[in-house]
Structure 1
Amino acid sequence: MEFFNSAESAEVIGPYSHCVKAGDTYYICGQVPFHPTSGHVVGTTIKEQTFQTLYNLKCVLDAAGLDISDIAKVNVFLTSMEDFDGFNEVYADFMGDHRPARLCLGAGEIAHGCLLELDAIAYKGKSRGM
């Protein structure tokens, strides 16, 4: 296994890595809307927090030598499903034409008062596409 951490993303706050590579599969830890330098939550709306969270995800992908098109699956946890439309709008812009598999569910409460958390699984191997 290989372990990756991004200096551009928010620092990990526990005993884990931003990303772990096992074979051709990459497991990206839960991303939240922390500012990379201050460590504080960015924004008060779902759109602001989604943008920062996806920015942090992009930084982790970069550190591992990946890009958005390598994402195979995303798990999304929202504190309120009423935020789904706002989240989805920012997420769709971020993903562009790429459409990984996704789970999105209401989580009740997320650490540090964040409105969302997401993690991802990416794949970068020799055989891609169908």
Structure 2
Amino acid sequence: MIPKKISIEKIPSYGPYNTCVLVGDFLFISGQIAGYKNPEKFISYNIEMETKKVMDNIKIILSENGMGFQNVIKTSIFVTDMSFFTKINNVYSEYFHDRSYPARETIQVSALPNNANIEISSIAYKN
């Protein structure tokens, strides 16, 4: 099966990768940080706002592919400080209305692009 590469203009890209790749009914979403198309408008001063922007970026990507958070089956969260864990969970949980959360891991890392505090990647399945 050949992946269908999707470029989404509403989401910033920080390197040589695709924002997402659709393979059959699976959508693989690259790690998202709290950036805008204008690189000067980066949020990194408040973990709740940063997490919300990341989740909003994922929401745009899902929507552009005819999906929603109910289609997300796996997420990976990378965070620079594990003390943010509860605040991240509070924002993250607001996006899964029926509380059917995807599988997930949260990993502390030493640094992220653009001095981000959080990056989230996702896999969704169109059923």
| Mapped contact 2:30–2:122 kept (Cα < 8 A) | yes
**Aligned with 1:109: secondary structure?**
coil
**Aligned with 2:104: secondary structure?**
strand
Q: Percent identity?
A: 27
| Mapped contact 1:4–1:64 kept (Cα < 8 A) | no
Q: Structure 1 stretches (4+) deviating beyond 4 angstroms?
A: none
Task: Map 1:112-123; keep pairs closer than 5 Å.
Answer: 112-123=114-125
| Mapped contact 2:44–2:117 kept (Cα < 8 A) | no
| Mapped contact 1:5–1:63 kept (Cα < 8 A) | no
Task: Map 1:51-90; keep pairs closer than 5 Å.
Answer: 51-90=52-91
Q: Which runs of 5+ in 1 are unaligned?
A: 126-130
Deviation at 1:43, TM superposition (A): 4.4
Partner of 1:128: none
Pair 1:49 & 2:46 matched: no
**Aligned with 1:104: secondary structure?**
strand
Mean alpha-carbon deviation: is it higher for 96-105 or for 73-82?
A: 96-105
Q: Which runs of 5+ in 2 are unaligned?
A: none
Code of the residue aligned with 1:4 in structure 2: it is: I
Code of the residue aligned with 1:70 in structure 2: it is: N
Give me the TM-score of the superposition, normalised by structure 1: 0.88
Partner of 2:26: 25
> Which deviations, in whole Å up to 9, do the C-alpha atoms of 1:74-97 show, x marking residues without a partner?
000010000001100000112222
Partner of 1:38: 38
Alignment: residue pair count? 123
**Aligned with 2:94: secondary structure?**
helix
| Mapped contact 1:4–1:63 kept (Cα < 8 A) | no
Deviation at 1:71, TM superposition (A): 0.4
Give me the TM-score of the superposition, normalised by structure 2: 0.90
Partner of 1:7: 9
